[in-house]
Chains A and B, each alone.
Chain A
């Protein structure tokens, strides 16, 4: 058995828990439970396909406490949704191969049986989806679907459940809930529909709420209302919230911490403020640069990130971002050979990048910041 002394310490003090060559791959007879409410440890979700293995999540780790909000940001195809589905246990009994650990309130979910996880779904953890029109069954009334969600985990009569459904609709701010409870999804406007879905997700008072692109399908004005609602409900229920989005503006509002994902891996992680004021990863710079802003001249062009998102089957070697990174050449070849490790730069704020702190600072000061 190895001791703490044998663990190598990364250059910036981050503890590297990966097994070194020659060492046994497990250290304890059982994984150590987590202290956090939600913790992911080295989560990998791989899908075997005819064309190869799709590595949607490839070594993700983060923690989340009750009452806090995590924003997961990345391009389409970066593996954000897959991660959230993995937490919900919706990959079980599919072809996906999941390794790593997911700890939710002391329970480990990856190794857990499907029935065990199913009992948690809707009750302990709930999810709201991007397009509420397609995410709700078109043939059943909104009320019926909320009632169904409630009655899975609560043995009550239909009448009691219906009352609860009306209460939930009221809570999410739908006017005339007693009559709207019998309406069908298509009879709601976009914003109201999303509220209804939130009502359905929260009907059992889940402690973890995952919102997968909750505002992408909505108008900008409605977006703000929905985000306000989520924040209010979080404060009321003290639930942990994960918001998944590609829109930095959304997470700026709500998230306490932000995780920037790229090609199934964490590129950068840290408190919202830090990410916005002192972004460390070139990819994050790109995201920030490509955001349209009202406080800039319209004539200024947006800074797109050149290139296209990588294929998750053939992830570029080394740092997955290196083909699109303007600074890859500065790493002296490490970008193409070595996978960068997530290292802390300042407390919770960590980044997975081969650039040195000086190189990053220089690039930030000279290239990026002036243009933002």
Chain B
């Protein structure tokens, strides 16, 4: 088991390196190949009506005049060892992990992401709990009551949930539950849980439900399909043949086997989500990583875009790793 984990860990680190290389290449290599000069890259950082000297100074400041592998090496070194940046008015020391410095809003990238992380984390985790419980629960019930009115109704609602675009559900829920019937007048107005848990929850209920609606629908369908398949397995028949109560058969034997792939997918979904639930955060104006990413892209702020891409990549790789290990823990056939 230990060797398994160590092997996977090694693979994860390798994957992160690859992600960093690809990200770096996309942002710094591709524009060069597409014909943009380093001058043009640097122009995006200087203010209105720049003159060539200012542009060139910015180029040097960003290190854009260095060969690409030097830039990449610097980038990696920054993450691990930190870096000092000369803002022109002083030296900013950026401790590790240093994802760079944004000259557009004069902030280090990592503290901004760190400040956005609890928001996205709250959103993702809260929604995850809701969708896991409701999705799996409905899926199991649907499978057990296959063909009944409940099953058909549940799957229709699930179809709606999967089909409706998330920003539509978001705006609709805001229009109804915040503006027309002020059940949640402060929806989207994020307050940290450490400051006011009540308001924190109030702000997040609508985003949670909106996000969870989509995923719960997926999970209900997945669980239902999985349950139907599992309940046809031979070991279910054996369990019944032993004289086990039906409830134990369903939960201990059936559900346990069904949940394994569900847990795997859940881990991956969560990993992706923590990387930034872009649409939900934008629709509700939540100051999370997703919104941070969107703004960074709109502002063409390269260090920030790079930083958030790396962070999101890290979460996905980490989630992958955890899910792999978890799967081995749950399913002994994988371990040996």
Contact = CB atoms under 8 A, between A and B. Distances in A.
Nearest to B239: A137
B336 interface: yes
A139 B252 CA distance: 10
B234 interface: yes
Contact of A134 (B234, B246, B332): B234
Interface residues of A, number: 29
A138 B242 contact: no
Interface string A112-128: 00000011111100110
Interface string A128-143: 0101001111110000
Interface string B272-313: 000000000000000000000000000000000000000000
Contact of B242 (A134, A148, A184, A186): A148
A134 B232 CA distance: 11
Contacts of B257: 137-139
B145 interface: no
A153 interface: yes
A127 B234 CA distance: 12
Contact of A184 (B235, B260, B333): B333
A139 B330 CA distance: 7
Contact of A186 (B244, B260, B332): B332
A268 B190 CA distance: 79
Most buried by B among A139, A186, A200: A139
Contacts of B243: 118-123, 149, 152-153
B256 A135 contact: no
A139 B256 contact: yes
B interface, size bucket: 20 to 34
Given A152-B243, A153-B243, A187 B237 contact: no
A187 B333 CA distance: 8
B245 interface: yes
Contacts, number: 70
A152 B244 contact: yes
A293 B55 CA distance: 93
Interface in B220-244: 233-235, 237-244
A290 B246 CA distance: 42
A131 B244 contact: no
Contacts of B332: 138-139, 184, 186
A135 B333 contact: no
A231 B286 CA distance: 71
B173 to A, nearest CB: 39
Contacts of A149: 242-243
A187 B234 CA distance: 18
A214 B276 CA distance: 54
A136 B245 contact: no
Given A123-B243, A186-B332, A138 B235 contact: yes
A237 B192 CA distance: 69
B234 A129 contact: yes
Interface in A34-58: none
B238 A136 contact: yes
Given A139-B332, A187-B336, A121 B233 contact: no
10 contacts: A88-B241, A118-B243, A135-B234, A135-B237, A137-B238, A137-B253, A137-B257, A139-B330, A148-B244, A200-B242
For the complex of A and B, list the 8 residue pairs with the smallest distance between their C-beta atoms, beginning with the closest. Answer: A122-B243, A121-B243, A134-B234, A122-B242, A135-B234, A137-B235, A149-B242, A184-B332
